[in-house]
Structure 1
């Protein structure tokens, strides 16, 4: 088995059969390239790799002080890679299959409270076209719980504002419908009708909602920059990103009593266990529930 050919076939497998996003595919391929470099250094042929070799590779990688989350993701990628080799190249065993991932402490996501979100949105300069666009961006991030990749790829043809829904393409090109509230609709319409209409739109971006001043598709990095600048403007002492608005969207829904399955559908989570992280409720509230409702309290 030649690394170059195997990597090419593995990439096609991830694209066509797994339908993964470009970012996920890049992560998988980077993991395989790390293993390739290690095997080259150790003079190991791909079809001779055994479990102990994978363990040595993981120990080697660990010397670079990578986080347990990165280690777990790397191991998961290798298990997928060798599983692919079993299917397509008749590899007898998966040498990564029995290796346990490092234990992960589940970290609660950082969220913003209502006052902080209001302060960030209020800090936007609405006297500029970019400000009106940014207002619509933040209203949609918080009002719909989109990933930043879903936001920058949002299409005009997938806006159904008359019935208060938008359609987005999530991970693995899976589509889902998400309700959109009146506040987000209001500022999205203002942006589309008063700002975007005046841009010289680049070829290929005709159906993309959010554009930069040159009429090209807005990038993920630019959305990060917009939010960081607003946080600095109001001296917000939190490390926030576009994903913080998604976390806040989910957390506020769950805390308000929303059904967890409905939140799962809106976020596009495959497993409800991923959504359950938003069920964190402060201890004072839990204590008040016990005091109010338990017969022995």
Structure 2
């Protein structure tokens, strides 16, 4: 296994921390094989690799059971070693080729209740000030369109068409999509443009950016994050809130209201509807709660 680690360090240039993880994982694998009397890679079978994966997940007297993500990382190291050994002619077959790492548990998006979102929006910035108007417009637009934070701060003034109630968002891979803008977001952005943006722009050198910082330049992702975090603190929303939280809430609230998942897919700019369907898991939980609370035969 030393040759494989040297390969990772020299030819693939892995970072020291990553190499350390590979070394630790492969040492455990070597100990496992040695306990089974398998001193040579050529003697290892697919069943041996599978048995190692089972031990990772179940643990033993010397090791605690690993979660799916940690076990998957170890299996990736083992698969890499056997692939390297086969490619270098050290073995006649690759016994780990068909052993798949365990899939990590699917994490459900965190969506806020509508009341919490409204409290955050109401707490955005100091009312009536240029920055306060900007902050309210930014958060209303994030929640009202489901835009990613990078898409929102990347907006130029000409990307927004309030007369038709739409905005042009540029997503991952340069893909563009036109998304409707609701009345609340439209009114907040219009107020910001009329009463605040010119004052902020005067401090800068001129930029087409819609959302400006106090120096007249384009608002950064980090600053936008701070705007949301401060609003959540003022609103006394105790759960962790990020710009993506508003995007998750946008999608979940649409589905709760009866929107078709494919429509939400288009609004979010997901390439596959499978990505969007994770939100349906959230709404199914809500449906169960409503059913259990209201149906006369739901409970014994």
Q: TM-score, normalised by structure 1?
A: 0.66
Moved over 4 A (4+): 38-44, 55-58, 96-99, 286-292
2:148–2:243: 8 Å Cα contact kept in structure 1? Answer: yes
Cα displacement (A) at 1:202: 3.9
Partner-residue secondary structure (3-state), 2:152: helix
1:197 matched residue in structure 2 = 198
Q: Please give the residue correspondences for 1:24-173 in structure 2 after superposition, counting only pairs within 5 Å.
A: 44-45=10-11, 56=22, 59=25, 68=69, 100-124=100-124, 125-173=126-174
Structure 2 SS opposite 1:127: coil
User: What is the alpha-carbon distance in structure 2 between the residues aligned to residue 289 and residue 101 of structure 1?
Assistant: 42
Distance (whole Å) between structure 2 residues aligned to residue 146 and residue 43 of structure 1: 40
Following the alignment from structure 2 to structure 1, what is the Cα–Cα distance between the partners of residues 224 and 142?
10
Question: How far apart in 2 are the matches of 1:215 and 1:99?
Answer: 55
- Which has more radius of gyration? 2
- Preserved contact between residue 144 and residue 180 of structure 1 (Cα < 8 Å): yes
Following the alignment from structure 2 to structure 1, what is the Cα–Cα distance between the partners of residues 215 and 136? 18
Match in the other structure for 1:285: 290
Partners of 2:250 and 2:156 in 1: CA distance: 21
Distance 2:68 2:211 in 1: 34
Superposition RMSD on alpha carbons, in Å? Answer: 3.8
C-alpha distance 184-57 of structure 1, shift in aligned 2 (>3 A):
farther
Q: How many residues align?
A: 229
Q: 1:43 to 1:208 in 2, by over 3 A?
A: closer
* Contact 1:154/1:168, CA 8 A, preserved across alignment: yes
Distance 1:58 1:265, change over 3 A: farther
Gaps of 5+ in 1: 1-37, 47-52, 80-95
Which moves more between the two structures, 239-248 or 282-291? 282-291
| Distance 1:267-1:127 versus aligned 2 partners, 3 A rule | same
Q: Structure 2 vs 1, CA of residues 97 and 216 (structure 1 numbering), >3 Å: closer, same or farther? A: farther
2:255 corresponding residue in structure 1: 254
Do the aligned partners of residues 141 and 225 (structure 1) sit closer, same or farther apart at CA in structure 2, a change above 3 Å counting? same
Report Cα offsets for 1:239-276 as digits up to 9, x if no partner: 01011000000000001000111100000011111111
